[in-house]
Amino acid sequence: AARLNPLDLYDVRSLLSDEERMVQDSVARFTDEKVLPIIGDCFDQGRFPTELIPEIAGLGLLGATIPEEYGGAGMNGVCYGLICQELERGDSGLRSFASVQSSLCMYPIFAYGSEEQKQRYLPKMAAGEIIGCFGLTEPHGGSDPANMKTVAKKDGDDWVLNGAKMWITNGNLAHIAIVWAQTDDGIRGFIVPTDTKGFTAQEVHKKMSLRASVTSALFLDDVRLPADAILPNVKGLKGPLGCLTQARYGITWGPIGAAQACLKEALDYTGERMLFGRSLNSNQAIQLKLADMARRITTAQLLSLQLGRLKDAGAMAPTQVSLAKWNNVRMAIDIARECRDVLGGAGITTEHAAIRHALNLESVITYEGTETVHQLVVGRELTGINAF
């Protein structure tokens, strides 16, 4: 009998539309042909492959869900999820780049910006000519962004910003930063060109995770901006949290790709490795591990697809995103570590993908709300009690 696809045991792909399948295939091809041959070296060298940006943009992967009139690809949420999945099958750093540009920089300009801001920035951001970063987290504690110390004060018509942001993806690549700051009127968002006087980005080194991604600290020292730098249409923490909901949704899909890459590697390796006179995969202890990986990938796939259908129906609740972000990242990090283990010594170098994915997922489980933050969001939903 024909065997099932080990990376899609429930044929979740059959639930996709033709367009969704086409998008998945084109990103999968990009990952296989352009990302996988170089990404182990990029990780070793601590280098984000900027040379891939034009092709990423050309495939419509930046601002995929932004309407075409602003240069986006006008795709649905499920297509965006599949893009994240196939990019992260390559490396979490590539998916991070697309998440930040699309959900954390283009989305707030689209959702909260003026018509002039949308026209000015979005088409060039979709083309990869303007790269953005998103500054919410501060050095004193990212889980509690309401306790923000960065301030923006009015001076005549201008705004003057002071403060610092920490762990900012794309910080040293970016042409603009979306910076969230406390004002007399609550938390507001600003579009800050990174060549503005008083703005500096300092790359974080010595990372053991997301090495193929740029992470930076941002410093704002009397950064003076014109009145039209503010995002006019949102006030309060719901501005940045609304962006996080978009990015976290994509992050529920991404780790499925990382986990699939690891399961594939574990299947290939244990099929070929001969120990005690038989292939490694003939042992019950190994089959239990492989079966468990497939079980957890399958449940994650169904969770994200239903989440995407809810999103496209306009019915997705942030708590549902929290549950899937928690489940799917936990699933992937456990699988990557288990895959590293079944590869034995071979699992410890970047010749294989497992340890790179496992290390990357240490960031993914922390950023965009730590696992604990998402567990507490679900707990609050169930009990009505805020335990933060």
Which residues make up the interface to ligand TGC (CB under 6 A)? 96, 99-100, 134, 136-137, 142-146, 169, 236-238, 241-242, 244-245, 247, 318, 367-369, 373, 377, 388
Partner from ligand TGC, ligand FAD, none contacting 149, C-beta within 5 to 8 A by type? none
Asked if residue 125 binds ligand FAD (CB under 6 A), the reply is: no
Q: How far is the CB of 26 from ligand TGC (least distance, A)?
A: 21
Give the tokens for residue 191.
């579009």
Out of 33, 203, 368, 381, pick the active-site residue. 368
Residue of 103, 117, 137, 252 that binds ligand FAD (CB under 6 A): 137
**Could you say which of 347, 363, 365, 374 contacts ligand FAD (CB under 6 A)?**
363
- Whether 368 is catalytic: yes
197-256 residues in contact with ligand FAD (CB under 6 A) are 210, 215
Among 17, 45, 119, 143, binds ligand FAD (CB under 6 A): 143
Specify the residue, 111 or 160, whose C-beta has the smaller distance to ligand TGC. 111
Residue 44: enclosing H or E segment and its boundaries?
A: helix 36-45
262 contacts 354 by C-beta, under 8 angstroms? yes
SS3 200: strand
Site size toward ligand FAD (CB under 6 A) is 21
Neighbouring residues of 142: CB distance < 8 A, sequence distance ≥ 6: 136, 166, 167
Nearer to ligand TGC, 99 or 304 (CB): 99
166's enclosing H/E stretch is strand 158-169
| Residue 141 contacts which entry, ligand FAD, ligand TGC, none (Cβ below 5-8 A, type-dependent) | ligand FAD
Quote the DSSP letter at residue 276: T
Extract the tokens encoding 149.
């110390």
DSSP string, 11-70: -GGGGS-HHHHHHHHHHHHHIIIIIHHHHHHHHHHT---GGGHHHHHHTT-SSTTS-GGG
Angle at 16 between CA 78 and CA 287, to 5 degrees: 95
> Would you count residue 147 as binding ligand FAD (CB under 6 A)?
no
* Closest distance of CB 5 from ligand TGC, Å: 28
The residue assigned the tokens 């976290």 is 248
